[in-house]
Amino acid sequence: MQMFPLVAKGAQVRRRGKVLVGPVDLTLGGQGTSIVIGPNGAGKTTLLKMLHGIVRMNGGSLDWACPLEEAQKRQAFVFQTPVMMRRTVIDNIAYPLRLAGMGRKDARERAADWASRVGLGEILQRQATMLSGGERQKLALARALVREPEVLFLDEPCAALDGRATREIEEILAHASDSGTRLIMSTHNMGQARRLADEVIFVLGGRIHEFSPAEEFFAGPGTSQGRAFLNGDIVE
Amino acid sequence: MVDRAGMRPLGEQRSAMTDLWAGLSQAFWLLVTLDADLVEITLRSLRVTLTALAIACAIALPLAAFLAVRRFRARRATIAVLNALMGLPPVVVGLIVYVFLSRAGPFGVFGLLFTPTAMIIAQVIIVVPLVASIAHQSLRELWSDYHDLLISMNATQLQRIKALLWDGRRALLTAALAGFGRAIGEVGAIMVVGGNIDHATRVLTTAIALETGKGEFAMALGLGFVLIALAIAVNLCIHWLGRTESEGRW
pLDDT in tens, B201-227: 999 999 999 988 988 877 888 888 889
Q: Domain for residue B120, yes or no?
A: yes
pLDDT in tens, A88-122: 999 999 999 999 999 999 999 999 999 998 889 99
Q: Domain for residue B213, yes or no?
A: yes
B248–A76 C-beta distance less than 8 A: no
Domain, as residue range, for B47: 36-241
Q: Domain for residue A170, yes or no?
A: no
Q: Domain for residue A87, yes or no?
A: no
Torsion of CA A153, A158, A160, A166, to 10 degrees: 160
Q: Domain for residue A94, yes or no?
A: no
Rounded to an integer, what distance in angstroms lies between the CA atom of residue A212 and that of residue B180?
63
Q: Are strands A18-28 and A33-37 parallel, antiparallel or unpaired?
A: unpaired
pLDDT in tens, A118-164: 889 999 999 999 999 889 999 999 999 999 999 999 999 888 788 88
- Chain B residues with CB-CB distance to A49 below 8 A: 148
Q: Domain for residue A130, yes or no?
A: no
Task: Name the domain count of chain A.
Answer: 1
Q: Domain for residue B179, yes or no?
A: yes
Contacts across the A-B interface (CB distance below 8 Å) = 38
Decide if pLDDT at A63 tops 80: yes
A77–B248 C-beta distance less than 8 A: no
Q: Which of A22-26, B21-25, B241-245 has the lowest mean pLDDT?
A: B241-245
B246 to chain A: closest CA residue: A127
Instruction: Give the mean pLDDT of A17-39.
Output: 89
Instruction: State the pLDDT at residue A135.
Output: 92
The CATH number of residue A220's host domain is: 3.40.50.300
How far B242 CA sits from the closest chain A CA (Å)? 14
Q: Domain for residue A220, yes or no?
A: yes
Q: Domain for residue B58, yes or no?
A: yes
Decide if pLDDT at B151 tops 70: yes
Percent of chain B with pLDDT over 70: 90
Instruction: Indicate the length of chain A as a whole number.
Output: 236
Task: Name the domain count of chain B.
Answer: 1
Instruction: State the pLDDT at residue B242.
Output: 67
Query: Which of A73, A83, A127 minimises the CB distance to B149?
Result: A83
Q: Domain for residue B141, yes or no?
A: yes
Q: How confident is the model at residue B180 (pLDDT cuts 50, 70, 90)?
A: very high
Instruction: State the pLDDT at residue B240.
Output: 79
Q: Which residues pair with A18 in a beta bridge?
A: A15
Q: CB distance from A74 to chain B under 8 Å?
A: no
Decide if pLDDT at B8 tops 70: no
Instruction: State the pLDDT at residue B243.
Output: 65
Q: Domain for residue B1, yes or no?
A: no
Instruction: Indicate the length of chain B as a whole number.
Output: 250
How far B235 CA sits from the closest chain A CA (Å)? 23
Domain, as residue range, for A61: 6-75+151-157+182-230
The CATH number of residue B45's host domain is: 1.10.3720.10
Q: Domain for residue A171, yes or no?
A: no
How far A98 CA sits from the closest chain B CA (Å)? 10
Which residue out of A69, A75, A86, A153 would a mutagenesis test of the B interface target, given it has the greatest number of B Cβ atoms within 10 Å?
A86
Q: CB distance from A68 to chain B under 8 Å?
A: no
Instruction: State the pLDDT at residue B247.
Output: 46
CB A5 within 8 A of CB A65: yes
Q: Domain for residue B24, yes or no?
A: no
Q: Domain for residue A143, yes or no?
A: no
Q: Which of A9-13, B23-27, B135-139 has the lowest mean pLDDT?
A: B23-27
Instruction: State the pLDDT at residue A232.
Output: 80
Which residue out of B138, B149, B150, B250 would a mutagenesis test of the A interface target, given it has the greatest number of A Cβ atoms within 10 Å?
B149
